[in-house]
Structure 1
Amino acid sequence: MQISPVPVPAPGAGAALRPLRWNDPFHWLALGWRDVRAAPGIALFFGGCFWAMAALMGWVLRSRPEYVMSLASGCLLLGPFLAMGLYDASRRLESGQRPELGRSITAWDTRIPSMGMLVLVLVVLELLWGRASMVVFAVFFNAGMPSTAGVLQAVFHPDHWQFLAVYLVVGGVFAGRAFAGMVVALPMILDRDTDALTACITSVRVVAAHPGVMLLWAALIALMVGASLWWMRGAGLLLAGPMLGCASWHAYRHAVCADSPAAPN
């Protein structure tokens, strides 16, 4: 499949967008799988990192749940740097170069200002999300918060369906904002060394221009991550993590017109 050369006109300054089709997300996954097979060592390294993060969070949730939010913040700090390595691998494969693990690990080192701002936005959003979740808990469990041991039973009890509905709506709003602002922002920063604000605005424009296609892409990501976490206590992330990372690069390349990207160094 060739990338369409026809851009979608957009008001104001900024990168031109390409038209997307409903089958594009599945094509991105196919390209991601191709890149994983072309660079298995790099994929295994980053997949192992994702699996280790998931295993650590699972252990903390079971033994010390009070530290889950702190650990989640740490994962938000680390996650973009890991994703950048996968984008770099796909970028080099796309340009006909051979990806190298060392360069993939340090792909972010020339993008620190933009990366730092983007990570800060992610952390602030997560803190707001956590605060909103606590407010929802406080409103529906005004007689006292459920204990750690019984929180899942309390949350999913049939009598608490209203709480679950509101909690999912609130979480969906924050998740949607995070997805809209980040879906092509990181690969764009790597590709063009642009600032975080421009990358986030472009990402939001992509989602606004193709809400149905990007909703399908978000659903596929959530489905694959959820299935990976369920299978063998997160071992599925060894494959799904790198595949989604590489596929996200191709999502960016198909959604945003090329504009003199910097050559891989």
Structure 2
Amino acid sequence: MCPNAHRLATIAQRIDGPTPDPAEGVFETTLVVDGKAVEVDAHLARLESSLDALYGLPLPAEAAGLVANAAHGTALGRLRLTAVPAAGAATASVRVAEVDRALVFPDWDRAVELAPVAVPGGIGAHKWADRRLLERAEAEVGPAVPLVVDSDATPLEGSRGNLFLVCGAVVITPPADGRVLPGITRARAIEAARGLGIELREQPLGPDDLADAGEAFLTGGVRGVEPVRRCVGVSEWDFGEVTARVAAELRRSWLG
């Protein structure tokens, strides 16, 4: 094991939380802007895929209508759509809450701190409604955001967003290999970076990448692009040009 991997494995708190209870279902979270859910079709498609893969059930027919009705009249908010398996079908429910504008595409003064936590096999490719494992991780390292690493110290993702590192002129994010959530905003950030002419690679990260990167950011369905200031015991980063460019591109798409 390389020195950085050994250090990361040593400082990462192992989280032996309960496995998610499938009976609680799966969910999607997205931003609402001017009465409309952002990237709604992509979120519905991912929820549909999870329901089929996990339960062999279709997306409830009323899901899109519930989202549209709940988002209506909300200037800026967070929408959560939950689907719960029932007898031969799934039921859908929606809730919306207002969001502080400063939390959406936050400035550097709100950059987050990551703290590594070891979750063997990662969080996985589905957004489980049962979030006891993540809540336990957040309680252990808060107010830092948990950085999920595998048992071999491979960095995977943040507890609330996919991880991107800027290494020289290249942006790297872990592949959607079943250990991380295939984030909708992750996909949009990849498209944005490549559209800006930035080289982007989807490849496994190592502890050396964390130590050597010049910038880091998370992507998520509500915060958009969230700059990262440091990873406890590993590295500190600056708010650099690449993070700013990707954030600006997505901000224009979402907020106009």
Structure with higher strand content: 2
TM-score > 0.5, shorter chain as reference: no
> Bigger radius of gyration, 1 or 2?
1
* Highest RCO, 1 vs 2 (Cα 8 Å, sep ≥ 6): 1
Q: How does the TM-score come out when normalised to structure 1?
A: 0.28
Q: How does the TM-score come out when normalised to structure 2?
A: 0.29
